[in-house]
């Protein structure tokens, strides 16, 4: 790009032109992050409805169908609307800065992949006011339940999932192309920051499995509206097939939501330990191993469906083996902290919270992986506790940590450490108050996805609901902290964190609209070596 | 952006879009893969053997297998449907004729299809049927009743640890099931 064109490009566009037509990776990253926060609030409101209904036995606020709608949309909105776009937002902002690229490889497609998302989510949320009901069969939308008894709005949900999948695939293509083709000279593969590695591998997972989900919902669509019988036993189809296809997508999907989190945490922990990441190479191999193995464990979601004993054993052992590369990661984070000179700024608190809480979620995952024991745990609150430990205290904590870590780079101002710490401790404590009792509820046999429960579960549910309301309200502190930082934070230096390494800290804070128009020179100190 | 990079990007995007489209196809390919996998391994209790003519097979008198016949009505189908002899005992190789009683309790003519499921799944491929009401759709006039036959034997090669087989038939209303392309799910020996 010539110098003149570069300057012309740097003019100040109007608000509309800047945010709607933007092809700049930083603006699109910002859009993704605000969008995902908005969805986090929307999904949180549904969680509020769920916890209010469960705060005491009997009917509180929602009727059973409204409860089912809330459960379904909470899952879909949080997975596809909040967690995934938040990581895409972090990727958009940070990947080009980390590898010394001027922008993403396909800026115009980047704009598309963002702007599809609000449309998709609007379609999804509009099902709430459609005649009949919003989708009410859970985010896993098991056929033939969804194809036989699903409300008319199922078609709108399917369209929305197609769009969200399209957006994810376009985002993934962009990330792969950026990392493959736009690395600055000298940014060798094994010098790449872990966040880039986490996302690079995640992007391949997205391209591999989002189309399979699109296929599954397309089969649902034709079964429901066009008379095919993919999942209908009467027509020669197989009801169990849906679960196989769905979880072939669904299990890699959980790693799509956690591998970028691994990357974020692997950036934060070395910075605040003032040490290099321990076992960098093995961290890369572990991510790759987890990604590959995620394709051969899907049926551990189906232990209770009556599948063949040999298959149960295969999927049980395959699942347990995943604990090995995951353990490598956890031990390497701990080894990074070992004898480091640690400080506990908010990003570090979230990262340590991540390591501890994610490990608890991993342990309950190992309990669930035991096929004989899973007959008891299946579809109980134990499962709900497990996946909220890995998705909230895992993925979400990493996103919070990443936002606090890079916020000074984005807006050129420091956030209030007091507010950040308040947000962290309230979130951590209320999270555990919400979800830890669910382990006991599950072990005692409380089924998930049911709007009412037996009286002996009342106390733990009351505690969980109080925790959930606190958890939800604590997030307003986060919003306040971010707004306060943008408007009135103390100016940040370009390096921001004393122990930080990486190219993103060599550009000014806030990062100029255009960076690395000429590729930077990589000196080994700046790389992860 | 220089020429070489643009070419590289273009090639890459074609490969990646191709991969995404390929995986969309793979999602659908999972349907036949699943069917063939289950047919070959015989693990899902669906793919029994269909014999056109009943052959004479050596009867293994040393073993005795219990077969339980179960019936289900899909989605509250207003029919009466049950096995006339819910539990029978037979030797492997021995040919048996059993029957199910069905009655259309509605005031309309109805067409139903019975879908079998066999437990343990692996036993399915040792179950040979020569005749079964589940081979075709059955049309009953209003109030019509009938005894519907099954002629079958169990392959003497059946694993020694199987002493009990459960055969379940679920009756589906073909009008409610949107599909009409009902096919035999059995496999010709």
Which residues in chain A are contacts of B10 at CB distance < 8 A?
none
Nearest to B153 by CA among B87, B56, B74, B46: B56
d(CA A225, CA A150): 11
Q: Give the residue-averaged pLDDT of B89-100.
A: 92
pLDDT of residue A482: 97
Q: How confident is the model at residue A136 (pLDDT cuts 50, 70, 90)?
A: very high
The rounded mean pLDDT for chain A is 93
**Do the chains contact at A223 and B178, CB–CB below 8 Å?**
yes
% of chain A at pLDDT higher than 90: 89
Best residue in A180, A205, A234 to probe B by mutation, most B CBs within 10 Å?
Answer: A234
Strand order in the sheet with B145-154: B79-83, B96-104, B145-154, B127-132, B49-50, B187-188
**Do the chains contact at A212 and B170, CB–CB below 8 Å?**
no
> Are the CB atoms for A122 and A156 separated by under 8 Å?
no
CA distances from A19 to A30, A408, A453, A486, B134 (A): 9, 21, 47, 17, 62
Residue B173 or A395, more confident: A395
B104 pairs with which residues across the strands? B79
Q: Give the residue-averaged pLDDT of A250-262.
A: 97
> Are the CB atoms for A409 and A510 separated by under 8 Å?
yes
pLDDT score of A394 more than 80:
yes
The rounded mean pLDDT for chain B is 86
DSSP states along A322-340: HHHHHHHHHHHHHHHHTT-
d(CA B182, CA A467): 52
Q: How confident is the model at residue A145 (pLDDT cuts 50, 70, 90)?
A: very high
d(CA B40, CA B46): 11
Q: Give the residue-averaged pLDDT of B127-155.
A: 90
Q: What is the pLDDT of residues B42-51, one digit of tens each?
A: 888 888 888 8
Q: What stretch of H or E contains A28?
A: helix A25-53
- Token pair in block for residue B178: 């949107």
Q: Is A210 on the interface with B (CB under 8 A)?
A: yes
pLDDT score of B178 more than 70:
no
Smallest CA–CA distance from A232 into chain B, residue: B177
Complex ipTM value: 0.90
d(CA A244, CA A142): 10
Do the strands B65-73 and B164-173 form a parallel or antiparallel pair, or are they unpaired?
Answer: parallel
Residue A262 or B125, more confident: A262
Q: How confident is the model at residue B56 (pLDDT cuts 50, 70, 90)?
A: confident
Torsion over CA: A287, A290, A295, A300 (sign)? negative
Which residues in chain B are contacts of A314 at CB distance < 8 A?
none
Q: Give the residue-averaged pLDDT of A46-52.
A: 96
> Are the CB atoms for A290 and A260 separated by under 8 Å?
no
CA distances from A499 to A84, A286, A510 (A): 29, 25, 19
pLDDT of residue A1: 38
In this structure, the number of other CB atoms found within 10 A of the CB of residue A272 comes to 25
Q: What stretch of H or E contains B114?
A: strand B110-119
Which residues in chain A are contacts of B44 at CB distance < 8 A?
238, 240, 307-308
pLDDT score of A5 more than 90:
no
Nearest to A211 by CA among A168, A251, A270: A168
> Are the CB atoms for A299 and A205 separated by under 8 Å?
no
Please tell me whether the peptide bond between A510 and the residue prior to it is cis, using omega within 30 degrees of 0. Answer: yes
> Are the CB atoms for A267 and A351 separated by under 8 Å?
no
Min mean pLDDT across A267-281, B42-56, B157-171 is at B42-56
Nearest to B127 by CA among B76, B177, B189, B81: B189
**Do the chains contact at A308 and B9, CB–CB below 8 Å?**
no
pLDDT score of B188 more than 90:
no
Smallest CA–CA distance from B75 into chain A, residue: A148
Facing residue for B24 by CB, picked from A211, A223, A238: A211
Q: What DSSP state is assigned to residue A344?
A: -
Min mean pLDDT across A39-48, A484-493, A514-523, B142-151 is at A514-523
- Token pair in block for residue A304: 């209770």
pLDDT of residue A18: 86
Nearest to B110 by CA among B73, B135, B83, B85: B73
Residue A300 or A236, more confident: A300
pLDDT of residue B1: 57
Which residues in chain B are contacts of A211 at CB distance < 8 A?
20-24, 26-27
- Token pair in block for residue A8: 């012309």
**Do the chains contact at B178 and A236, CB–CB below 8 Å?**
no
pLDDT score of B175 more than 70:
yes
Q: What is the pLDDT of residues A152-201, one digit of tens each?
A: 999 999 999 999 999 999 999 999 999 999 999 989 999 999 999 999 99
pLDDT of residue A16: 85
Which residues in chain B are contacts of A227 at CB distance < 8 A?
178-180
d(CA A327, CA A22): 41
Residue A421 sits at the vertex; the CA angle it makes with A415 and A423, to the nearest 5 degrees, is 90
**Do the chains contact at A308 and B44, CB–CB below 8 Å?**
yes
* Backbone phi and psi for residue B169, each to the nearest 5 degrees, phi listed first: -115, 130
B19 Cα to chain A: minimum distance (Å): 7
Q: How confident is the model at residue A234 (pLDDT cuts 50, 70, 90)?
A: confident
Interhelix angle A64-76/A107-126, rounded to 10 degrees, is: 170
Give the residue numbers of A marked as catalytic: 74, 103, 139, 167-168, 251, 253, 255, 266, 300-301, 326, 329, 448
d(CA A8, CA A16): 18
Query: Model-level pTM?
Result: 0.91
Q: How far separated are the first and last CA of chain B, in Å rounded? A: 64
pLDDT of residue A378: 95
Q: How confident is the model at residue B185 (pLDDT cuts 50, 70, 90)?
A: very low
């Amino acid at each position: 790009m010539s110098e003149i064109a570069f300057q012309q490009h740097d003019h100040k566009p109007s608000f509309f032109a800047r945010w709607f037509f933007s092809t700049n990776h930083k603006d699109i990253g910002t859009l993704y992050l605000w969008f995902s926060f908005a969805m986090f609030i929307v999904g949180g409101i549904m969680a509020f409805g769920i916890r209010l209904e469960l705060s005491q036995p009997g009917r509180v606020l929602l009727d059973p169908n409204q409860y089912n709608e809330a459960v379904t949309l909470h899952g879909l909105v949080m997975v596809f609307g909040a967690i995934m776009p938040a990581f895409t937002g972090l990727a958009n902002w940070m990947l080009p800065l980390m590898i010394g690229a001027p922008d993403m490889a396909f800026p115009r497609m980047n704009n598309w992949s963002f702007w599809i998302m609000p449309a998709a989510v609007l379609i999804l949320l509009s099902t709430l006011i459609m005649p009949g009901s919003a989708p009410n069969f859970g985010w896993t939308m098991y056929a033939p339940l969804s194809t036989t008894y699903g409300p008319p709005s199922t078609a709108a949900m399917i369209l929305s999932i197609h769009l969200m999948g399209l957006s994810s695939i376009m985002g993934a293509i962009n990330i792969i192309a950026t990392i493959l083709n736009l690395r600055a000279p000298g940014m060798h593969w094994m010098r790449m920051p872990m966040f880039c590695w986490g996302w690079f591998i995640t992007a391949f997972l997205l391209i591999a499995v989002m189309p399979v989900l699109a296929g599954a919902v397309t089969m649902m669509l034709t079964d429901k509206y066009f008379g095919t019988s993919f999942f209908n036993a009467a027509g020669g189809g197989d009801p169990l097939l849906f679960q196989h296809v769905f979880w072939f997508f669904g299990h890699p999907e959980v790693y799509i939501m956690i591998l970028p989190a691994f990357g974020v945490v692997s950036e934060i922990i070395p910075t605040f330990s003032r040490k290099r990441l321990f076992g960098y190479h093995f961290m890369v191999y572990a991510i790759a191993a987890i990604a590959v193995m995620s394709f051969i464990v899907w049926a551990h979601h189906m232990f209770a469906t009556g599948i063949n004993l040999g298959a149960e054993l295969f999927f049980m052992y395959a699942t347990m083996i995943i604990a090995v590369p995951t353990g490598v990661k956890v031990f390497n984070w701990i080894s990074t902290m070992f004898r480091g000179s640690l400080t506990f700024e908010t990003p570090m608190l979230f990262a340590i919270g991540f390591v501890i809480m994610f490990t608890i979620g991993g342990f309950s995952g190992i309990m669930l992986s035991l096929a004989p024991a899973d007959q008891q745990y299946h579809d109980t609150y134990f499962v709900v506790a497990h996946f909220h430990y890995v998705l909230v205290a895992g993925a979400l904590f990493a996103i919070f940590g990443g936002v606090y870590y890079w916020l000074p780079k984005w807006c050129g101002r420091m956030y209030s450490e007091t507010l950040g710490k308040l947000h962290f401790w309230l979130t951590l404590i209320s999270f555990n108050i919400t979800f830890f009792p669910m382990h006991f509820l599950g072990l005692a046999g409380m089924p998930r996805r049911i709007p009412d429960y037996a009286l002996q579960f009342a106390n733990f549910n009351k505690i969980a609901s109080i925790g959930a309301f606190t958890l939800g309200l604590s997030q307003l502190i986060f919003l306040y902290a971010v707004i306060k930082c943008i408007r009135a934070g103390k100016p940040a230096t370009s390096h921001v964190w004393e122990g930080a390494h990486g190219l993103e800290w060599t550009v000014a804070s806030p990062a100029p609209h255009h960076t690395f128009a000429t590729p930077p020179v990589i000196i080994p100190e700046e790389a992860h070596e | 952006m220089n020429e070489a990079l643009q070419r590289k990007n273009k090639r890459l995007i074609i490969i990646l879009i191709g991969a995404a489209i390929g995986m969309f196809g793979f999602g659908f390919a999972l349907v036949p893969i699943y069917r063939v996998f289950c047919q070959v391994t015989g693990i899902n209790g669906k793919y029994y053997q269909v014999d056109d003519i009943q052959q004479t097979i050596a009867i293994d008198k040393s073993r005795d297998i219990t077969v339980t016949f179960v019936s289900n009505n899909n989605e509250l189908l207003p029919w009466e449907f049950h096995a006339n002899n819910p539990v029978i005992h037979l030797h492997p190789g021995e040919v048996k004729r059993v029957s199910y009683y069905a009655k259309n309790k509605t005031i309309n003519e109805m067409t139903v299809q019975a879908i079998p499921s066999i437990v343990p799944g692996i036993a399915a491929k040792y179950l040979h049927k020569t005749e079964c009401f589940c081979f075709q759709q059955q049309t009953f006039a209003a109030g019509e009743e009938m005894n519907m036959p099954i002629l079958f034997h169990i392959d003497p090669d059946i694993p020694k640890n199987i002493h009990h087989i459960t055969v379940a038939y679920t009756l589906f209303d073909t009008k409610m099931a949107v599909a009409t392309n009902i096919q035999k799910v059995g496999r010709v020996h």
